[in-house]
């Protein structure tokens, strides 16, 4: 197992907590690029297989790896494992570096873009500009890529991009909406990297952290066709009343008026030699967690990989399903583990420290009865604006409702959970496949 919960010995204080943590570790581990890429890719002679497609490496003068995202360096490492010295060069921008042979790792920052991310992305674009017709580009695309591959469009400063990102992340907009805006403020997102790479052959190896696996949304789809428009981006800004800097508002308005070219759509010939392959998604993680639950003697209920909405509200629904299992054995009888994925959001109104998974467990803890244990993590190991991956709670966690409610009201649940030994810490995990939640249901009351 490559992923381990760093503070496991402090947190695994009951059998149910131990089961929950084992499921989380197994789920995240199953989504590590080294595992999923070895399953999806192989090289036999000159033939590279990627899922059901094959590519003849002998048709190219060079193989280049380009990309970005939380897990991009680990994807590149797995590609180097599979292709060895066939990889000639490359650049990936990430906040979870690992040592590579031929590919340069540039560090950037997430969730808000930074100067070093911009510098790394510049290197990536320079490498892209030297690709030609006989270049095979393997694009390593993972969640987190939108912030890490920061290429502000003409006229937009990094500070303006940072302010726009902050406002979008706190607005409650979902990732499709957030990325519609980001794509229209960027020189690379929304298929624009593909435009720059044409006529090279581009094979994207994608880890999806987006609920419907929409390729144009994962990392803002740098090599995927984009159907969103400047008009859509402006509609998001209006819908959530987002206070964007003047340069951003001006660009979106000029784009809507037709003064700036749209991101390339599905019929654009820049995609003639581009294929995108999703090699892992939220389901990869959930299935592994469910399998380990079975091994531990618990019946798994794989609820959904698509849970979204406000984290604290989704928690109430998960608790209700757990209560039903306890009380009536519906839909399955305990001992059981409910597993879910997807990506919940937090509409931020306070200025505290926390994240969706920590708000999820804090909200759940408010109404937990004995027999239920709830744990949730972001599979990339970083939940929202905190250094924790998530949290774990049971009926003992909340002493007075008032403090838990105050922490939620201030969006300041990290210190609240830390005081109760209820934070889960992993550090960066090398992957990013959305959230993973488990509800362990121990005894049956019926």
Ligand X SMILES: O=C(O)C(=O)CO
Closest residue to ligand X: CB criterion: 146
* Binding range to ligand X, per CB under 6 A, among 58-66, 212-220, 327-335, 348-356: 212-220
Q: Print the SS3 string covering 162-184.
A: HHHHHHHHHCCCCHHHHHHHHHC
- From candidates 108, 144, 264, 384, binder to ligand X by CB under 6 A: 144
Specify the pairing of strand 201-207 against strand 104-107.
unpaired
Residue 352 CB contacts under 8 Å (≥ 6 apart), including other chains: 407, 410, 411, 412, 413, 414, 415
Residue 219 CB contacts under 8 Å (≥ 6 apart), including other chains: 68, 69, 141, 142, 143, 144, 145, 146, 149, 189
- From candidates 209, 226, 378, 383, binder to ligand X by CB under 6 A: 209
Determine if 210 is a binding residue for ligand X (CB under 6 A): yes
- From candidates 121, 179, 263, 362, binder to ligand X by CB under 6 A: 179
- From candidates 40, 83, 173, 219, binder to ligand X by CB under 6 A: 219
- From candidates 143, 190, 225, 245, binder to ligand X by CB under 6 A: 143
Provide the minimum distance between the beta carbon of 86 and ligand X in the complex, in angstroms, as a whole number: 28
Determine if 220 is a binding residue for ligand X (CB under 6 A): yes
Specify the residue, 340 or 432, whose C-beta has the smaller distance to ligand X: 432
Provide the minimum distance between the beta carbon of 144 and ligand X in the complex, in angstroms, as a whole number: 5
Provide the minimum distance between the beta carbon of 3 and ligand X in the complex, in angstroms, as a whole number: 19
Determine if 237 is a binding residue for ligand X (CB under 6 A): no
Specify the residue, 67 or 255, whose C-beta has the smaller distance to ligand X: 67
- From candidates 22, 106, 146, 340, binder to ligand X by CB under 6 A: 146
* Binding range to ligand X, per CB under 6 A, among 141-149, 259-267, 396-404, 408-416: 141-149
Binding site for ligand X (CB under 6 A): 143-147, 175, 179, 209-210, 218-220
């Amino acid at each position: 197992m490559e992923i381990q919960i760093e503070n496991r010995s402090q947190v695994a204080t009951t059998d149910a907590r131990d089961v929950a943590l084992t499921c989380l570790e197994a789920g995240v581990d199953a989504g590590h690029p080294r595992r999923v890429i070895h399953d999806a890719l192989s090289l036999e002679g000159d033939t590279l297989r990627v899922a059901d497609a094959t590519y003849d490496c002998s048709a190219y003068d060079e193989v280049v790896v380009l990309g970005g995202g939380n897990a991009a360096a680990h994807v590149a490492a797995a590609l180097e494992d599979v292709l060895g010295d066939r990889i000639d060069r490359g650049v990936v921008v990430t906040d979870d570096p690992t040592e590579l042979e031929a590919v340069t790792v540039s560090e950037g920052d997430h969730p808000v873009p930074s100067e070093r991310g911009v510098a790394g992305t510049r290197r990536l674009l320079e490498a892209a500009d030297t690709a030609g017709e006989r270049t095979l580009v393997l694009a390593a695309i993972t969640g987190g890529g939108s912030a890490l591959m920061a290429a502000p469009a003409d006229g937009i400063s990094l500070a303006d991009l940072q302010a726009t990102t902050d406002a979008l992340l706190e607005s409650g907009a979902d990732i499709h909406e957030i990325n519609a805006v980001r794509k229209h403020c960027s020189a690379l997102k929304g298929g624009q990297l593909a435009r720059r790479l044409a006529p090279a052959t581009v094979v994207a190896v994608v880890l999806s952290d987006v609920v419907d696996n929409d390729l144009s949304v994962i990392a803002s789809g740098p090599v995927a066709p984009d159907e969103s428009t400047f008009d859509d981006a402006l509609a998001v800004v209006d819908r959530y009343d987002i206070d964007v800097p003047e340069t951003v508002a001006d660009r979106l308005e000029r784009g809507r008026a037709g003064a700036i070219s749209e991101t390339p759509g599905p019929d654009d010939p820049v995609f003639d030699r581009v294929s995108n392959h999703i090699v892992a998604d939220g389901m990869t993680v959930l299935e592994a967690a469910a399998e380990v639950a079975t091994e531990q003697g618990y019946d798994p209920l794989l609820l959904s990989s698509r849970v979204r909405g406000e984290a604290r509200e989704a928690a109430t629904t998960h608790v209700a399903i757990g209560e039903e299992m306890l009380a009536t054995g519906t839909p399955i009888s305990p001992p059981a583990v409910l597993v879910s994925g997807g990506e919940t959001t937090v509409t931020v109104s306070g200025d505290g420290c926390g994240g969706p998974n920590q708000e999820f467990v804090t909200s759940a803890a408010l109404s937990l009865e004995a027999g239920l244990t709830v744990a949730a993590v972001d599979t990339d190991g970083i939940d929202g604006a905190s250094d924790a991956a998530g949290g774990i709670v049971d009926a003992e966690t909340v002493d007075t409702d008032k403090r838990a409610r105050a922490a939620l009201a201030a969006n300041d649940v990290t210190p609240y959970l830390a005081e109760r030994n209820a934070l889960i810490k992993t550090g960066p995990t090398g992957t990013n496949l959305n959230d993973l939640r488990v509800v362990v249901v121990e005894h049956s009351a019926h």
